[in-house]
Structures are given as C-alpha cells and as structure tokens.
Structure 1
Amino acid sequence: MLFAAAAALFATLALALIRALAGPTVFDRILALNLIGTKTILLIAVLGFATDRYDFIDIALIYAVLNLIGTVAVMRYLIGERERA
C-alpha cells in the first residue's frame, strides 16, 4: 500500500515539475514549486512509515515550515516588485 502511495506521489511530482517549467506566469510556477514541496513532505512521511523511523515525521514538519516561509517570502518579494513598477 505504501508503494502505491509513493508511486502516486512521484507521478504528481512529475506533473507539478512540468507545470513549474511550462507555467504561463510566475505565480503559476511558484504554486507548482509549493506543490512540489508539499509532495516532498508527503514522500518523507511515507518513507518514515515504510521504514518504521517515525523521526522522519519531525523532519517532514520542519520541511513544511521551511516550505511555507520560503513561499511567503518569495510572494511578498514579487508582490512588492509589482507595486513598485
């Protein structure tokens, strides 16, 4: 079951990567990169459950916080650039 979940996550990661490369706007690309970060968090959690190493959940939570902070920082920067232009 965990193998199927990991395979589905890899498939959605590939689709998000395609969207990040072909997005028509910068905001679409940022949204796709945020999705890639979220799917990576889920992969870390699945890997933790598959190997019975539950400390991976803590790593996934730290990565989630970093993903949120990074996305908010980039969005604030881009919105600030648009307002100055």
Structure 2
Amino acid sequence: MAVSGLLGTVLLAAAGAFVVFAIVLVYRIVAGPTMQDRVIAVNGIGTNVVVVLALLAAALERPGYLDIALVYGMLNFLMSIAISKFTVERGGVI
C-alpha cells in the first residue's frame, strides 16, 4: 500500500522534479561542446535516476526499488570511470 496523504504527494512531486532536471540535462548531452560536458551530464542523469528510484521506493513502499537504485548507482559510477579512462587514453583531455 502506498504512503497516503501529503507525504506521498510530496515524494512523488519531488521525483517528478528530478525527472524534469534529468530531461534538462539531455540538452547538455546534445549541445556538448566537449566530451567532458557530456560525461558530466550523463553522470548527472544517472544520479537523478537513482534519486527518483529512492523517492519512488519511499512513496510506493517498494523496498526492492532501493536495490535497483543501488545497483544502478554502482553501474553509473563504473560507466563514468570507463568513459573518463577512454577519453584520456584517446587524447581528448586538454
């Protein structure tokens, strides 16, 4: 059963706000101008996804979402390291 009343509404509204922030970051991925800007934007979107999953877990009382958020957060971190390493090896860092 979902969290009722004002708390559930606030948690869902906060999750919606983080989704909007993630959509705004898509502009930075498309516009660039550098690879580092794109990596930071993708990392920001990943972080927003983790926060949204945590908020949904609290609002909908689904603790399994926290497990998904934890795994996704670790994958997001590893992806950032891998892209950064690839960029450095390729000579894209000034």
Identity percentage of aligned residues: 35
The 1-side partners of 2:23 and 2:74 are apart by: 23
Q: Which runs of 5+ in 1 are unaligned?
A: none
Q: Normalising by structure 2, what TM-score?
A: 0.82
Q: Which residue of 2 aligns with 1:21?
A: 30
The 2-side partners of 1:7 and 1:14 are apart by: 11
Deviation at 1:7, TM superposition (A): 2.0
Counterparts of 1:1-85 in structure 2, within 5 Å, are 1-82=10-91
The 2-side partners of 1:2 and 1:23 are apart by: 32
Partners of 2:12 and 2:56 within 8 A in 1: no
The 2-side partners of 1:37 and 1:7 are apart by: 15
Deviation at 1:12, TM superposition (A): 0.5
More helix by share: 1
Q: Normalising by structure 1, what TM-score?
A: 0.90
SS of 1:53's partner is coil
Higher RCO structure (Cα 8 Å, ≥6 apart): 2
* Structure (1 or 2) with the larger CA radius of gyration: 2
